[in-house]
Amino acid sequence: MSLDLRVPMGLMFTLVGAILSVFGIATRGSVIYEASLGINANFWWGLVLLAFGLTMFILGRRSQARLAKLRPEPVDETRSRLGH
Amino acid sequence: MLNLTYVDWLIMLLYFVFVLGIGFALKRYMKTSKDFFQAGRALPAWICGLAFISANLGAQEVIGMGASGAKYGLETAQFYGIGAIPAMVFVGIFMMPFYYGSKARSVPEFLRMRFDEKTRALNACSFAVMTVFSSGISMYAMARLIQALHVFDGLFAALGWNPDGIFTFSIVLSAVIVLAYIFLGGLTSAIYNEVLQFFLIIAGFLPLVLLGLRNIGGWSGLKASVPMQYMHEWKGVAHASTNPMGIEIIGIGMGLGFVLGSGYWCTDFLVIQTAMASKNMASARKVPLIAAVPKIFFPFLVILPGLLAIGLPTPHTHTVERNVNGMIVRDTTVVPQNVEQGRGLVPAKINPVTGKAMLDTNGDPLLDYDLATPNMLLHFFPTGILGLGLTALLASFMSGMAGNVTAFNTVFTYDLYQSYIHKGGSDRHYMAVGRWATVGGILLSIATAYAAINFNNIMDTLQLVFSFVNAPLFATFLLGMFWKRATGHAAFAGLITGTLTAVLHHGLTLPLLAHPGIHGGWIAVVHHYHSDMAQNFWTAIWAFGANFVVTVIVSLLTKARPESELVGLVHSLTPKPPKAHDVWWKSPEALGIAVLLMAVALNIFFY
């Protein structure tokens, strides 16, 4: 399957994380954070999701790039067997 | 009242766009029916592993486990430590070689290979009905939750639509989205979205648990705010009257662990299909084991919100007097009566006809435990992250439906349509049938969703269905895979007897404090259980036992199949799979032992 799930998934979490953290900065000190015990839940959790999303996205892109490089050489399997 | 702003809608919309986008992106890879129904048998183990638990992470897990956490406390973790982990290790190590190695395309097809046509037909029909039922329950629960939380009220008001349409709108919306991505991308699409939803659930619920724990004063604060027995998984299980679930150790070990847990995780095509989609035998065997690792930690994510909801103080109508520039200002927070009659953040259940709280036979209000987790979301999340939490909740319902729908379309196409209605069609034809079976399955689910449900706990309803259909099933697979003498006539007779026994047992027993009817005792009440959970576990034990005994007896009376036909299907007649070239600690066996040790550690922690 040549669609690596980590690419769209990473992209989605990156976007959600970016939206949350930007919204968090824009609303800092707002009364809406009384619910979350005074913690700016949007900003901090947005950062976490942003980091997770970017990691997934980069990992997915890398493995897709690696697969694309491998494809012109389907003899790869025999080569590793020769190495034994 | 729920105040959603544009950020919440934006996050929800983003999720829908990605879900549908994945479906469209996968459409061009759907060339054969194998791509559509079996994801081409080419997916990596970690994706299938996360989809394996995610397929089960629907309504019954997220809402049901939170509800059970609020109702029974940490004893709910038995569903993990006993009810899931050992069965997941067992299916990976011992059963997957036969499922994957036999090249069967579905669980009923495996039954035809091992036993005979009628056993397959019976299993395929009951399974098809069950998946549609489960998917319908998921849909109904989601629509009801959306109504209860007033998610779309603001939207409807802004558009000037009649709020009575919210229930239908929710059902149609979820049905259209699930239908679209399965229709386009088949099982691959369902699996990819299940993984997406797995991470979304963690993203939505982890901050909830952290905030909840912080508010209540950490683990010690939680201990101080709930009854002592709510904090123990094992204490008091020696006798039914000394633990919140009202069930004793034999019921838990045999009923939940050996029968219900194994019946679900080892034989339900809903979860097995994800393992069968992986790229080779070693991966297929690792899928349930990889799934077991996050499963061990899920009690913290799905049970704790319910327990925290019970432990937090109950809101009451109160007035605060403030002095603003010499003026006395009275701020009155009005709390609805059903919330005041509840416990913690769990409100009392309201009779929709009279508008008053519903009472049990002791006159105490019945609590609406299903709202425990959703109310936690509303209580702690400000707008923004609230959108994320609600999206996670919606995603869990939709992926629960999707798993059922893909299992349904595969079983319908291969085991019913190709076998009994139209043999020898082209591959393209069966793929088209699969796509239209998806449409049919979703329409039937919608019909189910409109049928009302009377239970106050989704978990109990599903356990009841599973115990009728699934509990006898595990005996059939156990004997089929590990006893070469078991015959087709015997398997068929055993399954019928097992299910009839389950129905009979349910009709003859009743949980304490319940009225005869849907809770049992509709024939006559010959025995009272301490809880509906205990009744379910024992129903399963009786069904399993009856199936086991009848299958053994009938097998010995009927003619055995020649051993040459059973190679690859029965343990003693199958050559050992060749050892993979991996190092020893990467083998499924080593992974299985590591998972079991972690599960034991979890049980000791929750003791």
Name the β-bridge partners of B527. B509
Name the β-bridge partners of B560. none
**Could you report the per-residue pLDDT of B171-227, keeping only the tens digit for each?**
888 899 999 988 888 888 888 888 998 999 999 999 999 988 888 887 887 777 777
Give residue A55's pLDDT: 93
Residues of A in contact with B26 (CB under 8 A): 3
d(CA B202, CA A50): 14
Structural domain total, chain B: 1
Handedness of CA B126, B128, B130, B133 (dihedral sign): negative
Looking at residue B440, which CATH number applies to its domain? 1.20.1730.10
Query: Where are the alpha helices (H) located in B226-280, listed in sequence order?
Result: 249-250, 262-267, 269-276
Give residue B146's pLDDT: 84
Give residue B461's pLDDT: 63
Give residue B152's pLDDT: 83
d(CA B289, CA B587): 11
Residues of B in contact with A50 (CB under 8 A): none
E strands, A1-84, are none
Host domain of residue B175? 6-21+38-314+371-605
Instruction: Flag whether B575 is in a domain.
Output: yes
- Which of helix, strand or coil describes residue B330? strand
Chain A residue at shortest CA distance from B5: A23
* Cβ–Cβ gap A3/B40 under 8 Å: no
* Cβ–Cβ gap B15/A41 under 8 Å: no
Task: Tell me how crowded residue B604 is: count the other CB atoms within 10 A of its CB.
Answer: 11
Mutation target vs B (from A15, A42, A55; most B CBs, 10 A cutoff): A42
**Could you report the per-residue pLDDT of B591-600, keeping only the tens digit for each?**
888 888 888 8
Chain B residue at shortest CA distance from A10: B196
Residues of A in contact with B15 (CB under 8 A): 12
Task: Tell me how crowded residue B46 is: count the other CB atoms within 10 A of its CB.
Answer: 16
- Which of helix, strand or coil describes residue B53? helix
Chain A residue at shortest CA distance from B17: A12
Instruction: Flag whether B31 is in a domain.
Output: no
Cβ(A41)–Cβ(B381) below 8 Å: yes
Q: Spell out the residues 6+ positions from residue B492 whose beta carbon is closer than 8 angstroms to its own.
A: B115, B116, B118, B119, B122
Instruction: Flag whether B340 is in a domain.
Output: no
Instruction: Flag whether B319 is in a domain.
Output: no
d(CA B268, CA B488): 20
Instruction: Flag whether B598 is in a domain.
Output: yes
- Which phi and psi angles does B76 have, rounded to 5°? -55, -30
d(CA A51, CA B273): 32
Instruction: Flag whether B120 is in a domain.
Output: yes
Q: What is the DSSP letter of B280?
A: S
Cβ(B88)–Cβ(B79) below 8 Å: no
| Chain B nearest C-alpha distance from A71 (Å) | 16
Give residue B579's pLDDT: 63
N residues, chain B: 607
Give residue A15's pLDDT: 95
* CB of A12 less than 8 A from some CB of B: yes
d(CA B603, CA B597): 10
- Stretches where chain B sits below pLDDT 50 are 1, 456, 459
Mutation target vs B (from A9, A11, A52, A59; most B CBs, 10 A cutoff): A9
| Chain B nearest C-alpha distance from A66 (Å) | 16
Q: What is the DSSP letter of B579?
A: P
* B294-to-B53, B66, B181 alpha-carbon distances in Å: 8, 17, 26
Cβ(B205)–Cβ(B385) below 8 Å: no
Is 50 exceeded by the pLDDT of residue A57? yes
Chain B residue at shortest CA distance from A28: B382
**ipTM of the complex in this document:** 0.84
Give residue B578's pLDDT: 63
N residues, chain A: 84
How large a percentage of chain B has pLDDT more than 70? Answer: 89
Instruction: Flag whether B343 is in a domain.
Output: no
| CB-based contacts of A37-42 (< 8 A; 24+ apart in sequence) | A37/B211, A37/B214, A37/B215, A37/B380, A39/B211, A41/B207, A41/B211, A41/B380, A41/B381, A41/B382, A41/B384, A41/B385, A42/B7, A42/B382, A42/B384, A42/B385
* Cβ–Cβ gap B381/A41 under 8 Å: yes
Residues of B in contact with A2 (CB under 8 A): 29
| Chain A nearest C-alpha distance from B566 (Å) | 33
Instruction: Flag whether B557 is in a domain.
Output: yes
Q: Which one, of B63, B324, B312, B224, lies nearest residue A37 by Cα?
A: B312
Handedness of CA B376, B381, B384, B388 (dihedral sign): negative
Mutation target vs A (from B194, B333, B379, B385; most A CBs, 10 A cutoff): B385
Residues of A in contact with B203 (CB under 8 A): 13, 16, 45, 49, 52
Chain A residue at shortest CA distance from B215: A37
* A74-to-A67, A68, B145, B249, B279 alpha-carbon distances in Å: 11, 11, 52, 57, 18
d(CA B388, CA A10): 16
* CB of A31 less than 8 A from some CB of B: no
Mean pLDDT of chain A: 80
| Chain B nearest C-alpha distance from A1 (Å) | 7
Q: Which of B7, B25, B211 is opposite residue A3, by nearest beta carbon?
A: B25
* Cβ–Cβ gap A41/B47 under 8 Å: no
Residues of B in contact with A18 (CB under 8 A): none
Kindly report the pTM of this predicted structure: 0.86
Q: Write out the two tokens for B303.
A: 């049970």
Q: Which of A5, A19, A35 is opposite residue B381, by nearest beta carbon?
A: A35
Q: Which one, of B363, B304, B368, B362, lies nearest residue B342 by Cα?
A: B368
* Cβ–Cβ gap A24/B384 under 8 Å: yes
Chain A residue at shortest CA distance from B385: A42
